[in-house]
Structure 1
């Protein structure tokens, strides 16, 4: 029943490029997260074109002609890295971009390997995201690394603005440190026996590792929302939820909620979704409660604490 309710995720749509002022650096950022980092570090010295729209599943993204033109015109392209944008190399080549392409993940801490369920679905060992979990931004320590990589790239492309980029990056680092401390304090209010998490797909490993929560499982037991699952995966997950005494199943903003709702009903626990859905692969729309990296992390933390605490 749960397997039948699982529907395909919505396809990503490209962002519309806009012209910045003549004296600003033209930056194209692939994901909502790295676009926010670029805006925080670049300030008024950069114009950021964001390819992936908020609240859209990035795994099926296909660049539009407008996206390719933005890539062609960019002074700097910023990517998440770790295989999160498997379409990017071909898009950059097609666009004829000859400038800087920044892998924001360079030097970040990476979680290794895949879950046994995923390996069973890919017996040849091939995975769209490679050997590491690409959701690196869910650890604020990695966010600091990503911001530093972006700062260095902007300074290289615009040496006259280097001091400003460095100043904004230092200020943002301090914000990220305060965020990290706040999340740790909030998670500490959850009884240790209740720090168990089930989500739509395996997107929160870095967050769980950093703050001492236990990953019980995911409806799609993969880093990639397009991965195939089996009825056995879901039957085993229902049993795991019951055996572990999990209090809630968290739906994600970019994925249909029906499978999570069905799984929760089968396991006899609450499902957390709607406006309280977690932001896994994308930030939320402008003006919402998760429209920046920091507000997204605060939203996710409050939702988790409210459900498990």
Structure 2
């Protein structure tokens, strides 16, 4: 991620200090004083990404009050923290992050907030994919770890441990919730494998907006042909030479479709698909690469978004 607005940081911090002094949280999360089912105050938790927040909701249930920093369909690679983010972190007991360098803005935000609680890195223990060492976004490895449900189980387990450490009285409840959610993740994984087993290996070729699906590709034995954005950095653009090469590769491999992503504009993908003579999959069928769907929809959960991705990919490549 390129921090193009570093010069504005002092202004952001000053505004946050004013907000902290003058008001409570204006976020859409339940407030820190919310009562849990046992009558005690819910544990105040900040989660950076939609995926991490969803894991936390499944593990914490009504015993946690979660403030989600990055909203649906907001690109995490280009995110800039706000005064409200600093305020939320300053009043939280636990901060949950994806890790693997995805939230490059977080350390400075935590310092500005004066946060003294626990920071839980949900990526701990995940076997990371390495990429082009020249890609700044891949310096710590590929951060899109959640696209393998087995990695999601590791992330959920790390979150459960962090919540239990911060609130030991509810540790048994968190552990019970984790066991139930882990079973759902295993079912998602098995359903995905069964869906791709019906798709001939020759048809399992994927072209997406950017390289967000490496763990998914590896887990389900797909072939990654290329991406419209040649980097983890979603602000990067294909050169004329790269565009020509991608079109040629799509034609040579017999790839059937280009998949757009919900948090990225589809214009370039549509242009490349037209040149390559293949269909572009977008609109309501756009994949959830960096984000989840809108709150209140099935795709607004991790399980729903991943089911959507698999259904769309298998349908498009099998058609």
Do both proteins adopt the same fold according to a TM-score greater than 0.5, normalized to the shorter chain?
yes
1:181 corresponds to which of 159, 173, 190: 190
Q: Distance in 2 between matches of 1:66 and 1:16?
A: 11
Instruction: Find the counterpart in structure 2 of residue 25 from structure 1.
Output: 43
Using the TM superposition, give the Cα deviation of residue 112 of structure 1 relative to its aligned residue in structure 2, in angstroms.
1.2
* 1:113 and 2:137 are equivalent in the alignment: no
Residues 1:306 and 1:15: Cα distance change in structure 2 (over 3 Å): farther
* 1:99 and 2:117 are equivalent in the alignment: yes
Instruction: Find the counterpart in structure 2 of residue 242 from structure 1.
Output: 251
Residues 1:75 and 1:67: Cα distance change in structure 2 (over 3 Å): same
Q: Distance in 2 between matches of 1:289 and 1:269?
A: 29
* Cα displacement string for residues 271-301 of structure 1 (whole angstroms, at most 9, x for unaligned residues): 0000000000000111224110000000000
* Cα displacement string for residues 180-218 of structure 1 (whole angstroms, at most 9, x for unaligned residues): 000000011111110000000000010010001100000
2:208 corresponds to which of 196, 199, 214: 199
Residues 1:15 and 1:201: Cα distance change in structure 2 (over 3 Å): farther
Q: Distance in 2 between matches of 1:91 and 1:227?
A: 25
With structure 2 as the length reference, what TM-score do the two structures score? 0.87
Q: Distance in 1 between matches of 2:47 and 2:75?
A: 16
Q: Distance in 2 between matches of 1:170 and 1:221?
A: 38
* 1:160 and 2:172 are equivalent in the alignment: no
Instruction: Find the counterpart in structure 1 of residue 269 from structure 2.
Output: 260
* 1:299 and 2:311 are equivalent in the alignment: no
* 1:60 and 2:78 are equivalent in the alignment: yes
Q: How many equivalent pairs are there? A: 287
Using the TM superposition, give the Cα deviation of residue 18 of structure 1 relative to its aligned residue in structure 2, in angstroms.
4.2
2:69 corresponds to which of 44, 48, 51: 51
Instruction: Find the counterpart in structure 2 of residue 147 from structure 1.
Output: 156
Instruction: Name the structure, 1 or 2, with higher relative contact order (CA <8 Å, separation 6+).
Output: 1
Instruction: Find the counterpart in structure 1 of residue 4 from structure 2.
Output: none
Q: Distance in 2 between matches of 1:164 and 1:135?
A: 29
Instruction: Identify the range of structure 1 (152-161 vs 222-231) with the bigger mean alpha-carbon deviation.
Output: 222-231
With structure 1 as the length reference, what TM-score do the two structures score? 0.90
Q: Which runs of 5+ in 1 are unaligned?
A: 1-13, 120-124
Using the TM superposition, give the Cα deviation of residue 25 of structure 1 relative to its aligned residue in structure 2, in angstroms.
0.1
Q: Distance in 2 between matches of 1:62 and 1:129?
A: 19
Q: Distance in 2 between matches of 1:103 and 1:75?
A: 15
Instruction: Find the counterpart in structure 2 of residue 128 from structure 1.
Output: 137
User: Aligned with 1:128: secondary structure?
Assistant: helix
How do residues 207-226 of structure 1 correspond to structure 2 at under 5 angstroms?
Answer: 207-226=216-235
Contact 2:95 2:120 survives alignment (8 Å) = yes
Instruction: Find the counterpart in structure 2 of residue 3 from structure 1.
Output: none
Using the TM superposition, give the Cα deviation of residue 228 of structure 1 relative to its aligned residue in structure 2, in angstroms.
4.2
Q: Distance in 2 between matches of 1:129 and 1:38?
A: 25
Q: Which runs of 5+ in 2 are unaligned?
A: 1-25, 36-40
Contact 2:137 2:232 survives alignment (8 Å) = no
